[in-house]
Amino acid sequence: MPPIHTTTEPLNILQRIWVSVFPGTRGKPVERQAYRRLFNSLVLHFRPRTVPQRTLKFSLTWGLGGMAVVLVAVLFTTGLMMKLVYQPVPDRAYTSILYLQDAVLFGQLIRNLHHWSGNALLLIVFLHMLRVFFTGAFHMPRQFNWVIGLLMFLLILGSNFSGYLLPWDQLAYWAITICTGMLEYIPGIGTGLQHLLRGGVDIGPATLSIFYAIHTAVIPAGLLILMPFHFWRVRKSGGLVIPRSPRENPEDTEASVAAIPDLIVREIVVAVVLVAVLMVLSVAFDAPLGAKANPGLSPNPTKAPWYFAGIQELLLHFHPLFAVMVIPILILAIILLLPYLRFDADSSGVWFCSDRGRLMALVAALVALIVTPLGILADEYLVDFAAWLPTLPVVISNGLIPAVLSLTGIIGFYGLMKKKYTATNNEAIQAVFILLLVAFIILTLTCVWFRGSGMALVFPWGGMTVATPS
Ligand code: HEM
């Protein structure tokens, strides 16, 4: 390889910039190899020098954490671009979005990229969380990273939600109206919290400016703090969990390979493919934009964004206090404390704990697939605790009683799984997790696809009502 420059040659502009960044190379013959070495040393500030070979298996991470990083980068870039045009006041927000789409070069594409990346990020981070759970990568020494991850998940949820209002169209206005309306059911602080978030009693200019600040400053700042912390914790825990079969010892030593090129090349491939998919999606499908927000005309049905649709469906079956507060907070607290529960064995690195865990996971998914739709139909057409027990307050008949019944069912399922399969704690907890996960997915799909006018159950393909709810 010939030298790029020698001590005697005058430097060209690129070389001058180079030596200003890396003064150590001044006056030395710098060959292409040396440039590469310096670039590598820069990369190695962020990535480990070597990684256990097995952690490179795509079927360990599915590239999900890396994809989340790329999506955050795309969101920050496209968000900054839109910030130059968007005006966060009700009179001008909608028209500024129209202007962005119609009059700014690539404006529609930038908005589409931002929209699809935001939705994809929520999905990808959720899948990343599932992969961490199902490979037992939340056990010691990674417990705290699970907590940091969950905080980031909540931030991303908040980011999608706060961004939803910004176009100020009918879709946004009414979705945020019903979601912030749910806060009223939190006893004591609910109304205060609602007014704080809305900046008053109703949704208006103050709400838009608060959501804008949360979306473009508070949450990005939170992510910029938590993400490096998350990556640092991965390294502090000795890298990723090492995948192994149930019969392998977790202490087995593992061959390592250099991160450059083995890890970096894989990461670049995942990033390039993801950006390509996003581009295709953004060219083919425009981000939705309804008519300008009209506070006097509510669409029927008014649905929450898809990521809150599961909670909206719960609202149709439980008293709002339970649907909006007790159940979500209980589930969130359990997920947060999950790594700190008592587990019988170290199953980290083993997909679904063990062979038996795999079977139990399948059984749990099937049970949820059958029981959840049956429960929805039964509650819609047969069960009516409020009518059967008219003397009781509705919060008891429609809240406490169905909640206690559901909890009894879940505890019963846990006990049954443990007994029938003589399962470990790890396997039984995982089965309950899957039961709740599949139930939540079915609730979400029901609300998104099977609810029509007046939130009655309908067949999505015909818009036909299944029957009038009782
Ligand atoms: C913006 C959101 C997030 C980003 C950018 C992110 C990024 C990453 C990356 C790049 C890794 C290493 C590679 C990989 O596993 O794919 C990782 C690992 C990890 N993440 Fe996340 N993550 C996010 C959210 C979460 C969430 C929601 C959780 C769980 C609640 C979580 C828990 C973990 C844990 C425990 C590890 C270590 C896994 C192991 O050792 O195998 N992360 N994350």
pLDDT in tens, the chain (470 residues): 444 455 556 778 887 887 788 777 766 665 556 667 777 877 787 788 899 999 999 999 999 999 999 999 999 999 999 999 999 999 999 999 999 999 999 999 999 999 999 999 999 999 999 999 999 999 999 999 999 999 999 999 999 999 999 999 998 999 999 889 888 888 889 999 999 999 999 999 999 999 999 999 999 999 999 999 999 999 999 999 999 988 887 666 678 999 988 999 999 999 999 999 999 999 999 999 999 999 988 888 888 899 999 999 999 999 999 998 999 999 999 999 999 998 888 889 999 999 999 999 999 999 999 999 999 999 999 999 988 999 999 999 999 999 999 999 999 999 999 999 999 999 999 999 999 999 999 999 999 999 998 899 998 876 545 444 43
Instruction: Find out whether 254 and 52 touch, Cβ atoms under 8 Å.
Output: yes
Hey, which of 122, 128, 138, 274 would you mutate to test ligand 1's pocket, going by the most ligand atoms within 8 Å of its Cβ? 128
The architecture in CATH of the region 50-299 reads: Up-down Bundle (1.20)
Ligand 1 pocket list (CB less than 6 A): 61, 64-66, 68-69, 72, 125, 128-129, 132, 137-138, 142, 145-146, 149-150, 152-153, 156, 227, 230, 234, 240-241
Q: Whose C-alpha lies nearest to ligand 1, atom 11?
A: 65
Ligand 1, closest atom to CA 131? 15
Ligand 1, closest atom to CA 66? 10
Q: How far is the CA of 132 from the centre of ligand 1 (A)?
A: 7
Q: Is 300 left (phi over 0), alpha (psi -120 to 50) or beta?
A: beta
Hey, which of 74, 132, 135, 150 would you mutate to test ligand 1's pocket, going by the most ligand atoms within 8 Å of its Cβ? 132
State the DSSP H helix or E strand holding residue 465, giving kind and residue range, or none if neither: strand 464-465
* Residue of 33, 30, 24, 32 lying closest to 11 (CA atoms): 30
Supply the Cα-derived Rg of the chain in whole angstroms.
26
Q: How far is the CA of 161 from the centre of ligand 1 (A)?
A: 22
Q: Whose C-alpha lies nearest to ligand 1, atom 17?
A: 65
Residue 321 has what pLDDT? 92
Ligand 1, closest atom to CA 223? 1
Residue 251 has what pLDDT? 66
pTM exceeds cut of 0.85: yes
Q: How far is the CA of 149 from the centre of ligand 1 (A)?
A: 6
Residue 463 has what pLDDT? 52
Hey, which of 231, 234, 338 would you mutate to test ligand 1's pocket, going by the most ligand atoms within 8 Å of its Cβ? 234
Any idea which residue has 């130059």 for tokens? 84
Q: How far is the CA of 160 from the centre of ligand 1 (A)?
A: 19
Residue 146: HSE in the Cβ half-sphere, 13 Å Cα cutoff? 26
Q: Is the bond preceding residue 243 a cis peptide, omega within 30 degrees? A: no
**3-class DSSP assignment, residue 267:** helix
Token pair recorded at residue 315? 């609202």
Q: Which amino acid does the sequence have at 82? A: M
Separation between Cα atoms, residue 108 and residue 99, nearest integer Å: 9
Q: Whose C-alpha lies nearest to ligand 1, atom 39?
A: 240
Instruction: Find out whether 136 and 426 touch, Cβ atoms under 8 Å.
Output: yes
Residue ranges covered by each domain of the chain: 13-43, 50-299, 351-470
Q: How far is the CA of 437 from the centre of ligand 1 (A)?
A: 19
Q: Is the bond preceding residue 141 a cis peptide, omega within 30 degrees? A: yes
User: Residues 119-145, buried b or exposed e (16+ Cβ, 10 A)?
Assistant: bbbbebbeebbebbbbbbbbbeebebb
Hey, which of 54, 223, 230 would you mutate to test ligand 1's pocket, going by the most ligand atoms within 8 Å of its Cβ? 230
Q: Whose C-alpha lies nearest to ligand 1, atom 16?
A: 65
Q: Whose C-alpha lies nearest to ligand 1, atom 13?
A: 65
Separation between Cα atoms, residue 383 and residue 375, nearest integer Å: 9
Token pair recorded at residue 189? 């602080």
Residue 345 has what pLDDT? 83
